[in-house]
Chain A
Amino acid sequence: MDKDDTLTRSEAQAAETMTGAQMVIRALKDQGVTHIFGYPGGAVLPIYDALFKVEGITHVLVRHEQGAVHAAEGYARSTGKPGVVLVTSGPGATNAVTGLTDALMDSIPLIVLTGQVPTHLIGTDAFQECDTVGITRPCTKHNWLVKDVNDLSRVLHEAFEIATTGRPGPVVVDIPKDVQFQNGAYHGPQAVHHRTYRPKTDPDLSAIVKAVEMMASAKRPVFYTGGGLINSGPEASKLLRELVDLTGFPITSTLMGLGAFPAARPEWLGMVGMHGSWEANHAMHDCDLMICLGARFDDRVTGKVSSFSPGSKKIHLDIDASQINKIVRVDLGIVADARLALREIIRFWKTQKHKVQADALKAWWKQIDQWRTKKSLDYRNSDTIIKPQYAIDRLYELTKHRDDVFITTEVGQHQMWAAQRFHFQEPNHWMTSGGLGTMGYGLPAAVGVQMAHPGALVVDIAGEASVQMTMQEMSTAIQYDLPIKIFILNNEYMGMVRQWQEILHGKRYSHSYSEALPDFVKMADAFGCVGLRADKPSELDDKIKEMIAVNKPVLFDVRVDPTENCYPMIPSGAAHNEMLLSPDDGGEISDAGKMLV
């Protein structure tokens, strides 16, 4: 029988009496929360009242609840701590749904507190009422409606436990207004232990032994790593580096896993997947052992599943058992926290004195070096028009000497170019919407990152279409003196949509041209921040330096080639070894491929 959550008599006596609203603040403090991203409204007024003049917790007032959730995501991903959001009932909660789904897809720990109409009004279609737990059930790891103030502190502490352990994710605690006013008993975090929730974090050693043996006999191995390594904490990234040191195996990563392994090291193949490098995708296709660490065989990685790495044995390490064999059947599944599993893999590799297949590995590297000569990320530069790739290269070159650079992105071509060309050396410095692909993520995420890292250089590599989705958060940046830099690759198109229309839909650019764009420089002026514009490659460096130097939020309108496409590309429905390197490669897309997203 599981340990019950019933409190012992002494603990119950030790409990303090306070209002529900005070409990919320107290629980946040007891959980070590220092920042909340939120927006007040009728159903959370008692909590905002309790927050008034509280010391030790900074509340960041956003301009839209979606922004609050993305900011909390940016905060969480750059610190490893959970992000906390406080919004009101009804529209406050529904506006948070995009962010919740985004956090669920990318496994970001968030605690989202929503106000609710008083319990006696629930179900009456009251003003600003919505079925928050019903709406957010499929887009949270777990959620609660708290109808009794004496359950509130337990639920709040369980919320932190569930959001931050196992596979992290967002949780929602819906708190009716009358519960916020009522008095009840507050219990601290140490008195709370969930009845059923027991994430498995320790690996089965028999699986570790088998994994190490498979690695020792591999002739063409590749590490395929993902966001699970970032979520597992910085030690997992350290251990990954040690494992690559021990084996000399090549390594690639998903979009989500960038930074876990330094891009500067020779074993790094670049990103895998639809816009991954030639060498990474070919290594994945031709390997004889794929060691997947904290990634989930997403369709953006696998391409056509039936042709995915056909000749390899596969090891899959994931903290979430449901990910193993979900898309691709694997030969060995390991359910564990990446940090703990890597530690054991390294320990067994060393104590059993394993050696790699040195000759085979040498030949494998020779093959990889062959692929590298393709230089698949190359592009044709121009001295009259700014190529988006060039803009990112310059941003990288002018900032790479610093170790406090944090990059967020919106979603689309600019995001892929950033992932390909901005080389990350450390985890937690790259914040992008991977699973959900949420345009409008980057600007509010930058707000959250800068809040957590006041002196750092936080750049949102953006597109002119995405950035308009959450542009109002510039006000938040101004209010809290957050000198975020919005680096807009302005090609006047929803570039990725335009690219697909060009390749798949006979160049019929249906509604993908951004007509009536605002003047971003004037817009910056109106917000009270700094606006910059670059039209020519020759002026880019000076403007980037100016952007970095100014201690204010900046909207930088970089006018880039409107027709540039993002390559390399695995067209939908194709395999890893059927990449397109340039428009000259044609790009016949199968009918089945056209059906895919």
Chain B
Amino acid sequence: MHDTKVKLAADIERHTLTVLVDNEAGVLARVVGLFSGRGYNIESLTVAEVDAMARTSRITIVTSGTPAVIEQIETQLRRLVPTHKVTNWTSAKAGIEREMALVKVAGTGEKRVEALRMADAFRARPVDTTQASFVFEITGAPSKIDSFVDLMRPLGLVEISRTGVAAISRGPDAM
């Protein structure tokens, strides 16, 4: 598993949290407003309805802070009225985290060949091809996408669109 518990600065840790919420109007604003209002960081955010019958949405947030701040973030998220459940995948060490990115690279000649070769090594798939460009689709842990993007930079990187992290638990049980 991609270990997000990377030491950033002195006792600042990066954590991945998932919040299961009622899919009601303004619920995302509540979550995001909690982060901005209390001065917490959001490094990435992924949200979509996951159960149309139960009207629940799943919000996955990558955040960073001291252990005390991370604990506060979790308890503050639990306090929101529409919150069903909060899971910290980094503390639980039982989650799988994946992110998808679309990476556009433009170039010709040797650089173009090299980009395609690298993409193959990263199992990134070209989803749009012109004579002067590729759009690659790549899935993996955020660090893998970071590495791929770094490699594409000298090969004609034009732009990147990343989804943010989706996370789920290993084994048979739900979060």
Interface residues of A (CB under 8 A from B): 1-2, 133-134, 137-138, 141-142, 145, 162, 194-197, 320-322, 324-326, 329
Residues of B within 8 A of A137 (CB): 26, 29-30, 33
Q: Is the pair A195, B72 in contact by a Cβ cutoff of 8 Å?
A: no
- The CA of A141 and the CA of B33, in the complex, are separated in Å by 13
- 9 smallest A-B Cβ distances: which pairs? A322-B75, A142-B81, A321-B75, A322-B76, A322-B79, A197-B81, A138-B37, A196-B84, A196-B22
Say how far B56's CB is from chain A's closest CB, in angstroms: 9
Q: Is the pair A322, B84 in contact by a Cβ cutoff of 8 Å?
A: no
- Nearest neighbor of B55 in chain A, beta-carbon distance: A195
Say how far B31's CB is from chain A's closest CB, in angstroms: 11
- Nearest neighbor of B21 in chain A, beta-carbon distance: A196
Q: Is the pair A322, B72 in contact by a Cβ cutoff of 8 Å?
A: yes
0/1 per residue, B15-39, Cβ < 8 Å to A? 0000001100110011001000100
- The CA of A133 and the CA of B84, in the complex, are separated in Å by 21
Q: Is the pair A133, B81 in contact by a Cβ cutoff of 8 Å?
A: no
- The CA of A197 and the CA of B21, in the complex, are separated in Å by 11
Option from A138, A325, A326, A329 in Cβ contact (under 8 Å) with B33: A138
- Nearest neighbor of A171 in chain B, beta-carbon distance: B81
Residues of A within 8 A of B22 (CB): 195-196
Say how far A120's CB is from chain B's closest CB, in angstroms: 17
- Nearest neighbor of B77 in chain A, beta-carbon distance: A322
With A196-B22, A322-B72 known, 15 other A-B pairs at CB within 8 A are: A1-B54, A134-B29, A137-B29, A194-B81, A195-B22, A196-B21, A196-B82, A321-B75, A321-B78, A321-B79, A322-B76, A322-B78, A324-B75, A325-B68, A325-B71
- The CA of A162 and the CA of B81, in the complex, are separated in Å by 8
Residues of A within 8 A of B33 (CB): 137-138
Say how far A218's CB is from chain B's closest CB, in angstroms: 26
Residues of B within 8 A of A329 (CB): 68
Once A138-B37, A325-B71, A326-B72 are accepted as A-B contacts, the answer to whether A133 and B26 lie under 8 Å apart by CB is yes
Q: Is the pair A320, B79 in contact by a Cβ cutoff of 8 Å?
A: yes
B83 interface residue, CB < 8 Å from A? yes
Once A137-B26, A138-B37 are accepted as A-B contacts, the answer to whether A196 and B83 lie under 8 Å apart by CB is yes
- The CA of A326 and the CA of B69, in the complex, are separated in Å by 8
Residues of A within 8 A of B82 (CB): 196
Residues of A within 8 A of B83 (CB): 196
- Nearest neighbor of A133 in chain B, beta-carbon distance: B26
- The CA of A301 and the CA of B25, in the complex, are separated in Å by 38
Say how far B111's CB is from chain A's closest CB, in angstroms: 48
Residues of A within 8 A of B30 (CB): 137
Say how far B144's CB is from chain A's closest CB, in angstroms: 35
- Nearest neighbor of B85 in chain A, beta-carbon distance: A196
- Nearest neighbor of B20 in chain A, beta-carbon distance: A196
- Nearest neighbor of B24 in chain A, beta-carbon distance: A144
- The CA of A134 and the CA of B82, in the complex, are separated in Å by 16
Q: Is the pair B25, A145 in contact by a Cβ cutoff of 8 Å?
A: yes
Residues of B within 8 A of A195 (CB): 22
- The CA of A142 and the CA of B80, in the complex, are separated in Å by 8
Residues of A within 8 A of B25 (CB): 133, 145
Q: Is the pair B29, A196 in contact by a Cβ cutoff of 8 Å?
A: no
- The CA of A321 and the CA of B78, in the complex, are separated in Å by 9
Residues of A within 8 A of B29 (CB): 134, 137
Say how far A384's CB is from chain B's closest CB, in angstroms: 51
0/1 per residue, B63-75, Cβ < 8 Å to A? 0000010011001
Residues of A within 8 A of B21 (CB): 196
Q: Determine which residue in A2, A142, A195, A324 has the highest number of CB atoms from chain B within 10 A of its CB, and name it.
A: A195
Q: Can you give 28 A-B contacts (C-beta < 8 A)?
A: A1-B54, A2-B84, A133-B26, A134-B26, A134-B29, A137-B29, A138-B37, A141-B81, A142-B81, A145-B25, A145-B26, A162-B81, A195-B22, A196-B21, A196-B22, A196-B81, A196-B82, A196-B83, A196-B84, A320-B79, A321-B75, A321-B78, A322-B72, A322-B76, A322-B78, A325-B71, A326-B72, A329-B68
- The CA of A2 and the CA of B54, in the complex, are separated in Å by 10
0/1 per residue, B130-143, Cβ < 8 Å to A? 00000000000000
- The CA of A138 and the CA of B21, in the complex, are separated in Å by 18
Residues of A within 8 A of B71 (CB): 325
Say how far A450's CB is from chain B's closest CB, in angstroms: 33
Q: Determine which residue in B33, B79, B83, B84 has the highest number of CB atoms from chain A within 10 A of its CB, and name it.
A: B79
- Nearest neighbor of B81 in chain A, beta-carbon distance: A142
Residues of B within 8 A of A141 (CB): 81
- The CA of A196 and the CA of B81, in the complex, are separated in Å by 7
- The CA of A134 and the CA of B83, in the complex, are separated in Å by 18
- The CA of A320 and the CA of B33, in the complex, are separated in Å by 19
Say how far A321's CB is from chain B's closest CB, in angstroms: 5
